[in-house]
Amino acid sequence: MINKSSVFRRHRASVKVYVPKVSRDNHYLIAEMPLTDKLLELVVGKIDTTEERPYQKFYQKLGRLALNAVEECDIAHANFVANNRLVRVRHNEEQQVLHTEKQSFFFYSPLHNSTFKGYFDGAVRSNKIKFLFLATGDNLREDAAEFHEKVISAVELISARIGLDKEDLKVRDHQHLTYDIFARQKGNKESVTHTFREISARYLHQGYPVPETASAITYAVVSMPMTRRLLKDTAIDYDAEKPYELLYEKISTAFTNSVKTHQLKHATMLANGMSPIVRLDKEKKTIINGDIISLGYNPEEEGTDVTSQWEGDKLVDTIQFIYCATDSDETHNTYGKFVNNVTQAVNTMAEDLNWNKERDYMLMRLNQQLLRRI
């Protein structure tokens, strides 16, 4: 007779993910609201657009209001952003903020960085106001639900003091786990276990329920550097109009075959120098804005959708592979099986491409997001 409890334990064990101990956590929330005439009126009254910097007082007053709310809610690290740029957050020991034409990159370490600062130009009316809240400490996942509630309290306080309706603000909760898939081959033998429970299920378990109207997405972005080995293993005609076409076709074939082998449904290869963002979109539209490519996907759709995009005349520094989880990838409120399938697919692709796992990295950033209204 088969012991049912042992079968259940084996099934549960199959969705565990063994992540290198040297992995890096990030947790942050972005609250945003449109910069409307109503918001301007509530904060500073009438704006004289003939002034050199007509929005300076508005930004400064709103920033002070937000800072007071942040301090009252015991949040150590936050930023006020009104610059019409996409906000990106990355782990780094050195605290730094870098701006490109379309993006603002916030580099920080949860262990020893904390600040409050505003990023705006008083002469320019931004489309949106964003409040970026960065988690701090050494147990980000364990403390995620509590931090989420602190941020919601701060956003509610900001909204109330401005006089806005709660529905005017939306909050995105982002959680990243970043690591080299081949860390073990480089000598990092220690690992930690994850099951990657869906965010709302994890918060509910910790006593912090989120609204049923909240939506969630889970996806992985794997970055592969353009190594010398990749170039040497491909017959490249540098005099051709599109010298790298054959190289990208080779990588695309390995990528597509690995995705099919490991039964992943939604995946994209990017080798065009663009920076991807992923959003939930039932129409699955792709939107290009400068160097940003926004990929819409529908987790409810179970059909296979695997695509590759490249420019044969451009040699990129990094090729990116995006793997999006579907609703069926969530089992028992976890995404462990999905993460393991992505890892196996990358391993299969690496074998096909003669990848040097002991020296070259394949960096995985697992993204879990929750979108809710206040």
pLDDT digits (tens, 9 = 90+) for 95-123: 899 999 999 999 998 988 788 899 999 99
pLDDT of residue 9: 45
Cα–Cα nearest to 372, from 129, 163, 167 = 167
Query: What is the amino acid identity at position 261?
Result: T
The string over 306-319, giving b where at least 16 C-beta atoms fall within 10 Å of a residue's C-beta and e elsewhere, is bebbbebeebbeeb
* pLDDT, greater one: 147 or 168: 147
28-47 exposure pattern, b = at least 16 Cβ within 10 A, e = fewer:
bbbbbbebeeebbeebbeeb
Residue 5 has pLDDT above 60, yes or no: no
d(CA 14, CA 336): 8
pLDDT at 127: 96
Q: Which residues contact 331 (CB under 8 A, 6 or more apart)?
A: 15, 337
Which of 113, 127, 122, 119 is CA-nearest to residue 98? 119
Q: Is residue 135 classed exposed, middle or buried when 0-12, 13-18 and 19+ CB atoms within 10 A define those classes? A: buried
Q: CB of 45 within 8 A of CB of 62?
A: no
pLDDT at 6 over 50: no
Q: Could you count the other beta carbons within 10 Å of the beta carbon of residue 248?
A: 24
Rounded to an integer, what distance in angstroms lies between the CA atom of residue 25 and that of residue 111? 10
User: Residue 22: what are its φ and ψ, rounded to 5°?
Assistant: -85, 10
Q: Which two tokens stand for residue 120?
A: 């705006």
pLDDT score, position 168: 78
**How large is the average pLDDT for residues 255-274?**
96
What's the confidence (pLDDT) of residue 2?
37
Alpha-carbon span 196 to 193, nearest angstrom: 9
- Judged against a pLDDT cut of 90, whether residue 73 lies above it is answered with yes
Q: Read off the amino acid at residue 318.
A: T
Please compute Rg for the chain using Cα positions.
22
What confidence category does residue 219 fall into, taking pLDDT thresholds of 50, 70 and 90?
very high
Q: What is the C-alpha to C-alpha distance for residues 170 and 357, in angstroms, rounded to an integer?
A: 42
Write down the mean pLDDT value for the chain: 92
